[in-house]
Amino acid sequence: MKISEITDYIESVAPLAMQESYDNAGLIVGDRKAEATGALISLDVTEEVVDEAISLGINLIIAHHPFVFGGLKKFTGANYVERTLIKAIKNDIAVYAAHTNLDNMLNNGVNSKIAEKIGLQNVRILSPLRDKLSKVAVYVPQSHAEAVRNVMFAAGAGCIGNYDSCSYNIEGQGTFKANDNCKPYVGEIGELHFEAETRIETIVPQHLTGKVISAMLAAHPYEEPAYDIYPLQNDYNQAGSGIIGTLSKPENATDFLLRIKKIFDCGSIRHTRLPETPIQKIAVCGGAGSFLIEDAMRAGADILLTADVKYHQFFDARYPFVLADIGHYESEQFTKELFYELLTRKFSNFAVRLTKVKTNPIKYV
């Protein structure tokens, strides 16, 4: 199996178009066309993880965090990034990262895995992405409207929330006149033709627009199909920062945090003042999610579980809302499990290993 088959599948679950602008998700090192001897899954990529891959005879590391973010001008081994990169290249180890694109997905995402671990129900994206949707409108002879609609849906168009195959259809009349260089599907050369047509409108994630248009053109009977693409500012409710959901029943705040500490094996949890009343509506964001404090409070969350909260940011949490920092590694550790489940479900005969290296650089006394 080629490395590209594995990375293409991951990107079908977490498209690179969903990553944040500062991110560096994707194949960082390696040849997409190379045969994969196995995959080693880790949260981070360090020299120790590369050594483990070498010892196992595995030539692909799949990680959550990219170990290269900015441009590198020298490769002298002066820091762990350079040393890790040099070792990976010397030993033909490919490194792939799915970072904020995997964070941002409602389904099969980092935060959905956290929500699953703590038993959240009725989950939704806390802060949806914007400017990620387009509307495609195409004019089709009525005889072919159903066929064209169906191929567009199959290519990824027409999904709104938990609904699929969504479209709006308007019956009307189109006109055209074919010149001498045409081979019209209907009508005669040089004559104005009137055709009963359907205008099909549907929503398309922008990263799938090319695929949807190609499918539509292949199914459309006209030599020159007429269609429009409109960028939308609608929220994309299938992707964004953080997740919010509810516990099956209210829980004492202290008991809840003690349960979180056990599930995530936290050395400690830093948090603001706890309310005397039970909590039930929970917001989560793996990694550094303090930028979601206002979103969580606006959404009516009782608590936001995240990491990397700065001292003064704790003041932004207005009682009885609780802000809790459970640690960066701790909050994202189950991403390894998520990768493993995705890959073994798709590639049942492919060797997938979880790293035995605990890459968390932070220790507690």
Residue 71 in any domain: the answer is yes
Residue 364 in any domain: the answer is no
Give pLDDT, residue 161.
87
Residue 263 in any domain: the answer is yes
Q: Residues 195, 342: one domain?
A: no
Give pLDDT, residue 70.
86
Q: Residues 255, 326: one domain?
A: yes
Global pTM? 0.92
pLDDT at 287 over 90: yes
- The tokens for 12 are 């079908």
Give me the residue label for tokens 């064209």. Answer: 148
Q: Residues 317, 262: one domain?
A: yes
- The tokens for 56 are 């196992």
Report the run of H or E that residue 296 belongs to, with start and end. Answer: helix 293-298
Residue 360 in any domain: the answer is no
Give me the residue label for tokens 């567009």. Answer: 152
pLDDT tens-digit series, residues 231-241? 999 999 999 99
Cα-to-chain-centroid distance, residue 191: 51
Give pLDDT, residue 162.
87
Kindly tell me the sign of the dihedral angle through the C-alpha atoms of 117, 118, 122, 126. Answer: negative
Average pLDDT of the chain to the nearest whole number: 97
Last-in-domain residue among 210, 232, 254: 232
Cα-to-chain-centroid distance, residue 193: 46
Q: Residues 152, 220: one domain?
A: yes
pLDDT at 219 over 90: yes
CA separation (Å) from 337 to 58, 143, 327? 18, 48, 18
pLDDT at 122 over 90: yes
Give pLDDT, residue 71.
87
Residue 105 in any domain: the answer is no
Residue 165 in any domain: the answer is yes
Mention every residue, 6+ apart, whose C-beta is less than 8 A from residue 124. 106, 237, 243, 244, 245
Q: Residues 84, 24: one domain?
A: yes
Q: Residues 172, 245: one domain?
A: no
Last-in-domain residue among 232, 248, 283: 232
Residue 255 belongs to domain with CATH number: 3.40.1390.30
Taking the C-alpha atoms of residue 281 and residue 37, their distance in angstroms, rounded to an integer, is 44
pLDDT tens-digit series, residues 155-176? 999 999 889 999 999 999 999 9
Q: Residues 92, 40: one domain?
A: yes
Q: Are 335 and 43 in contact (CB under 8 A)?
A: yes
Residue 53 in any domain: the answer is yes
Q: Residues 213, 269: one domain?
A: no
Q: Residues 152, 118: one domain?
A: no
pLDDT tens-digit series, residues 22-49? 999 999 999 999 999 999 999 999 999 9
Q: Residues 123, 142: one domain?
A: no
The secondary structure of 231-263 as a DSSP string is EE--EEEEEEEEEEEEEEEEE-HHHHHHHHHHH
Give pLDDT, residue 173.
97
Percent of the chain with pLDDT over 70: 100
Q: Are 266 and 260 in contact (CB under 8 A)?
A: yes
Residue 188 in any domain: the answer is yes
Q: What is the largest CA-CA distance in the chain?
A: 86
* Residue 337 burial (10 A CB sphere; 0-12, 13-18, 19+): middle
Q: Are 279 and 303 in contact (CB under 8 A)?
A: yes
Q: Residues 119, 92: one domain?
A: no
Residue 204 belongs to domain with CATH number: 3.30.70.120
Q: Residue 229 carries which DSSP code?
A: E
Number of structural domains found in the chain: 3
Angle of helix 209-219 relative to helix 145-154, nearest 10 degrees, comes to 150
- The range of the structural domain enclosing residue 228 comes to 132-232
